[in-house]
Amino acid sequence: MGRVIAIANQKGGVGKTTTSINLSAALGEAGKKVLVIDTDPQGNTTSGLGLDKNNIENTIYELLIGEITTDEAITKDVAKNVDIIPSNVDLAAVEIELIDADDKEFILRNAISNVKDSYDFIIIDCPPSLSMLTVNAMTTANTVLVPIQCEYYALEGLSQLIHTVNLVKDRLNPELEMEGVVFTMFDSRTNLSLQVVENVKDHIEENVYKTIIPRNIRLAEAPSYGMPINQYEPKSAGAEAYRLLAKEVIDRKFN
């Protein structure tokens, strides 16, 4: 059965989409079968994996409102061993569409239940808000992975996110666990980055991944070419970091 990881942080610009794209590609490169689900109306994970988000007929929006099947929603082989359920701006309307829906917190979970066993990992890129889409991701997920940017306000919002995870665990998905925290945009030349890492480690009890994602120009460039970093610049520091993170994720054991 596939392990479902929601990549969430209500702060924008922390490396959430970068991690969704490149962790998925690195897991695929390691021989794992991966499904990426883009639940962000901005659709950046979709375009970062080479799809034209403005010209896709079958997206997660059509899946959530019941217009298409899960198989119809999946675009195959966007990277080695990686499939995707894409997203675009249409998804912004879904909360209004589903306002009166029964069990609306479980629509995504129910939608992918028939394909879950076909994948080793399902990676869900969440929007940068604690919205119904994020709650759907968390009711679907086994674990939540939180990217944190190495900046002064890194801890701001983390306690709120952990509170949300605990609420979802208590009320909707008792199986949900924290996958852990991964540091992104780390600049070894600055004392600030080092201080942030130590500060976060001191303040949280959650698993902190040993792999730290560096601030890397190639990593920033890759999405504009519609490629994960392991395709765009396979020998870069960013590509190597995501391979190490993928190995840690694969090796991580849960009760």
Query: Residue 10 belongs to what domain range?
Result: 3-251
* 250: enclosing H helix or E strand: helix 237-251
Low-confidence ranges of the chain (pLDDT < 50): none
What is the per-residue pLDDT for 33? 98
Q: What are phi and psi of 145, to 5 degrees?
A: -105, 130
DSSP string, 105-141: GGHHHHHHTTTGGG-SEEEEEPPSS-SHHHHHHHHH-
Structural domain count of the chain: 1
- Count of H helices and E strands in the chain? 12, 7
The CATH number linked to 85 is: 3.40.50.300
What is the per-residue pLDDT for 78? 96
What is the per-residue pLDDT for 100? 87
- Would you give the distance in Å from CA 177 to the centre of its chain? 15
Question: pLDDT per residue over 135-147, tens digit each?
Answer: 999 999 999 999 9
What is the per-residue pLDDT for 14? 76
* 239: enclosing H helix or E strand: helix 237-251
What is the three-class DSSP state of 50? coil
Q: Is the entire prediction scored with pTM above 0.85?
A: yes
How many Å apart are CA 242 and CA 247, to the nearest integer? 9
How many Å apart are CA 141 and CA 173, to the nearest integer? 8
